[in-house]
Structures are given as structure tokens and as C-alpha cells.
Amino acid sequence: MIDLRPALTDYLAMRRALGYKLGRTEKLLTDLIGFIEATAADRITIDLALAWATRPVKGDVSWWSGRLSVVRRFATYLRTLDPATDVPPAGLLPTRSHRAVPYLYSDDDIAALKAAAEILSSPLRILTYQTLIPLLAVTGMRVGEAIRLDRNDLDLEAGVLTVWRSKFGKSRELPLHASTVDALRTYLRCREQLYPGPQAPSLFISSAGTRLLYCNVNWTFLRLVSRAGLKPRSTLCRPRLHDLRHTFAVRTLLDAYRTDADVGTRLPLLSTYLGHVHPANTYWYLSAAPELLALAGNRLERSLEEPS
């Protein structure tokens, strides 16, 4: 028998050393241990894991399955320390993944979102969202990366943004187009006029001078989507904030195909710019664009028609 709480601390430390952040995992497993302790048990069993994972009782099976997968990884670790630990089988709560289909934004869509920002409650909020949304579209940054940016992370002279300690603890530099640098310079100048001396060092600030919160940014974005009249293209393809990142990835490769550039060379560069660990992680961003697949097919056909 082992003490579950110290074991959880060691487990989280080991995985975080590999680059995982595990904020949600820590909350779930802490709750699991509390659940086990309340039953007076001293280890994970399949019955206890299943009883905890299927809470709340009216939850969706995909939610239950996700909770159980968190238990399974922790139990696998615990079993190396205590062979009496049960590891829940992988198929105990089967569920089929329904991954969202990326909503690829056009230039008109981005312009409509910028125009929709005029409904926001203050000039500073309008300015912030009219700068943040296009920046996400032209850099492919994760939303969390953009709102974590500090003013010192932007070098206007060099035209570079530095993203620190993002997913898997990776940092990277993002060279910016001159027009993007000009837009950010304008944002900072107007921001200073609207809110001199903000409370936070962040690049993008709220109307209270504080760092933006993801939940508020996402809620505001959905308001702007509705105002701009952007409609779902199917039940699995709805306008999402994260799809600005998909749009950037697809457009980068479309540009490569249309200019007859070496796509094989550009893909690792795109992967690095997006902050992916491996180029293979970039392929999901590219698989949902029929126009991109058509251009790739056309290039393949041309290569097959050329004499060897």
C-alpha cells in the first residue's frame, strides 16, 4: 500500500519535467483521491475508478471517458509502485471522438469580425479586439500564447514577437510582416492614450488595464461571430477562436502550392512557426481544406506526367 497524495505529487512532477502542464489533471486526480479516501479505500480499484469517472450521473459519455483516461495513466504509474493497483481497461467506457471540423476564415470574415468589434463597450476593448483577432489570423498563435504576451516580448525594431514557455515548455520567435508591426505599433500608441500606465505588463489589456482572460476573450469572440453573421457550415464546423490558427496553417501551404514553392521544405518551417514538436503534428491543420488537397493532387498529377 502507498500513500496516494505523495504519489500524486511525484507523478505530476515527473510528467511536468517532460513538459506537460497538467493543471486540469491535477484537479481531477486530487478529486479522485478525495473520493477514494471518503470510501475508506487505500488504493485505486476498477469499481472505484468507474464510480468516480461517471460523475455527474447525467454527464456525457465522452466526458466520463476523458475522466477515466486520466485515472488510467495515473494508475499505470502507481502499479509500478504497488502491484495491487488496478488499471482500468481502455475499453471500459468506449466513446467515439467527434473532433471539430476547422472553420477556415476568409479575408471577408476577418474584416466582418473587426467591424463587429465596434459594438464593444469601450474604445480600448474595440481597439484590443480589432488588433488581437487579425494578429491571431496572421501568426497562427494559440490564443493563450497571445494573451500571455508581455509588452517586452514585442521588438518593434526587429519586427519579432517572442513566445515564452508555451505548450511542452517550448519558446519561439515569430518574425512579423511590416504591416503587422505597424498595426501593433498603432495599437500600443492608442492604448497608451486610452489607458496610460496599465496595471499589467501584458501586451494586450482589458478595459481595466489588466491582462485578458481566455474565458472573456472566447465569450467576446462568440459575440462578434454572431454580430458578423458567421454561420456554422455543419454541426461539426462552427466558427471557433482556435480556427484562426487552422486558417493560418492552411493559407501558408496554399500560398506555397500556388507559387510552386517547395512544400516539403516549407512544412517544417510552418511547424516550427506554429510551435509544434514535430511536423507530423501539423498535418491535422491541413487535412480539412479541400482546396489544399486539390492543389496537392494537381501537383502530384503533374509530377506523374513528367518524363522520368
Active site residue 177: no
For residue 88, which of 105, 71, 67 has the smallest C-alpha distance?
71
Catalytic residue among 67, 142, 148, 251: 142
Residue 41 cell numbers, joined: 479505500
User: How many Å apart are CA 249 and CA 287, to the nearest integer?
Assistant: 11
CB 127 within 8 A of CB 99: no
Active site residue 242: yes
Catalytic residue among 245, 246, 251, 273: 245
The CA-atom distances, in angstroms, between 246 and each of 162, 183, 239, 241 are 20, 22, 11, 10
Strands (E), the chain: 154-155, 160-163, 172-175
User: How many Å apart are CA 230 and CA 143, to the nearest integer?
Assistant: 20
The helix (run of H) or strand (run of E) holding residue 258 is: helix 243-258
pLDDT at residue number 290: 60
Q: Could you write out the DSSP letters of every residue in 108-153?
A: HHHHHHHHHGGGSSSHHHHHHHHHHHHHHHHH---HHHHHH-BGGG
Catalytic residue among 167, 227, 238, 240: 167
pLDDT at residue number 289: 63
Catalytic residue among 103, 187, 195, 285: 285
Name residue 16's amino acid. R
Active site residue 285: yes
pLDDT at residue number 19: 77
pLDDT at residue number 304: 57
Residue whose entry in the numeric block shows the C-alpha cell 471517458: 65
Which CATH architecture group holds 110-228? Orthogonal Bundle (1.10)
pLDDT at residue number 217: 97
Active site residue 238: no
Catalytic residue among 16, 43, 242, 266: 242
User: Where in the chain are the domains?
Assistant: 4-79, 110-228, 243-305
CB 86 within 8 A of CB 45: yes
CB 244 within 8 A of CB 134: no
From first to last of its 308 residues, what are the pLDDT tens digits of the chain? 789 999 999 999 999 888 788 989 999 999 999 999 999 999 999 999 999 999 988 888 888 999 999 999 999 999 999 999 999 998 888 766 566 778 889 999 999 999 999 999 999 999 999 999 999 999 999 999 999 999 999 999 999 999 998 876 788 999 999 999 999 999 999 999 999 989 899 999 999 999 999 999 999 999 999 999 999 988 888 999 999 998 998 888 888 777 777 777 778 888 888 887 766 667 666 665 666 655 555 655 565 566 65
Active site residue 142: yes
Q: Is the overall model pTM greater than 0.75, yes or no?
A: no
For residue 238, which of 255, 252, 221 has the smallest C-alpha distance?
221
State residue 197 phi and psi, 5-degree precision.
60, 60
